[in-house]
Amino acid sequence: MTKKLSTSEVGNFCATLPDFAAEREAFLKCKRTPRDLLEDCIARIEAAENTVQAFAHLDLDGARSAADRSTERYRAGTPLSPIDGMPIGVKDIIDTRDMPTQMNNAFFKGHTPRTDAACVQATHAGGGIVLGKTVTTEFAIGRSGPTVNPHNPKHTPGGSSSGAGAGTAAGMFCAGFGTQTQGSIVRPASFNGVVGFKPTLGAISTDGVHPLSRSHDHLGVLGQSVDTVWALTRWVGEIAPSQDSDGIGGSADGVLGPRHPTRLAVPRTAGFDELDDASRATFDEKLDAFRNSGITVIESDDDPFLADVTARLDRVVDISIRMVAFDMRWPFRSYLKAAPEHMGPRLHDLVELGNKVSLDEYRMIRAERADLRCRIQELGRSYDAVALPAASGPAPEGFEYTGARTFLLYWSFLGFPAVSLPLMQVRSMPFGLQLAGFGGQDHALMQIAKQLCAEFG
């Protein structure tokens, strides 16, 4: 991996990607093997990783051994699960006992946990193939890592699940675990032109995932198709749910059936002011395409209840970060005390902000969130889902700024499911459509996502 590819060469890797659902059919018919798929992924890594820099750590030997075991199971007709043989990347804030977990921070350089996170254990139990650890921004909220956008290496891949988004887009693996506290799954999925799914808060255990905000932290998946993302999410959600989770729904075989929506809500929040003319026009054109297909699309001006919800969503931008900062005081106060020089400016700023948020204010924000959740659930009586941009436009050029969070904060704050679908382009760069659902309705949301990708992708 010594050559750096040109912009067009790297972009070519995003043109045709292996879809695990199709690959698995070939495994079952003994026309292909998991080792074949893995070697295809490794070839892409060897060609593009020096440019894309999606990985913080690679374990190709371990991946090949796991692929060979998976190949033997398919030949014997005994695959372990719907994810058996799936090449997977693991975000580098998620514990792995056989690989370092370094959080893109010098304080954790060389740190190797003694146990795997719950999602990693579930992956191994299902025969998934862990290729390595993918780059994250610092502690999933601070300084950017070295990863670039494979569609154009001059542009950010988005954060904080930078390596998961870029590596998936370049075909280095079929899916990657990401986390989202404010926008860290949906935004990189949008920027890199892949599917990114943030399930309902608590649907999947975050045991072994470095915490940022107990009120906002979601574990989810970025992948090359809705089917692939669902297969991994559903498996892990059943094997490693949170203690109070009712599971993620769907059939045990991981097969996702499509569902045609009849009514979509579009809350025209203040976030739309962040869109440039081309991005706004592209989003509106997609809404027109939905309407032309028979879907009723209702906007804030046409529904008083939706207008009220829209105004309340605009409040989220100011209060979400205060809630996150309050939660971050521990363990980040301890980190700043132990090694202040290793902590980036944003971490210092957020801990300082958290120190200014009183417990009474935190309780008031929680109460406001509870009220908004009830109103959004009521919205679900009239609509199948909510449609929003998945970012404030395509990926910006440069790497200091990983993109605005506004459109992503709403459903992160609520803790309800959301998915970015690669249905739009602006200036030859991906721009995702965000489909947002209602609490506990993960399966229904992904059924709609599958239908929209099939019909409008």
Catalogue the active-site residues: 91, 160, 184
> CA–CA separation, 23 vs 39, rounded Å?
13
Which residues neighbour 4 within 8 Å (Cβ) at sequence distance 6 or greater?
50, 51
Output the six-digit token pair for 143.
Answer: 């300084």
Question: Other CB atoms closer than 10 Å to residue 6's CB: what's the count?
Answer: 11
Contact 297, 386 (CB under 8 A): no
Contact 376, 410 (CB under 8 A): no
> CA–CA separation, 122 vs 197, rounded Å?
18
User: Can you spell out the DSSP letters for 440-454?
Assistant: T-HHHHHHHHHHHHH
The tokens 């949906």 sit on which residue?
186
The number of CA neighbours under 13 Å toward the Cβ of 185 is 31
6: left (phi over 0), alpha (psi -120 to 50) or beta: beta
Number of helical (H) and strand (E) elements in the chain, helices listed first: 14, 11
Contact 391, 190 (CB under 8 A): yes
**Range list of H helices, 29-161:** 34-52, 60-75, 118-125
> CA–CA separation, 182 vs 309, rounded Å?
19
> CA–CA separation, 84 vs 385, rounded Å?
31
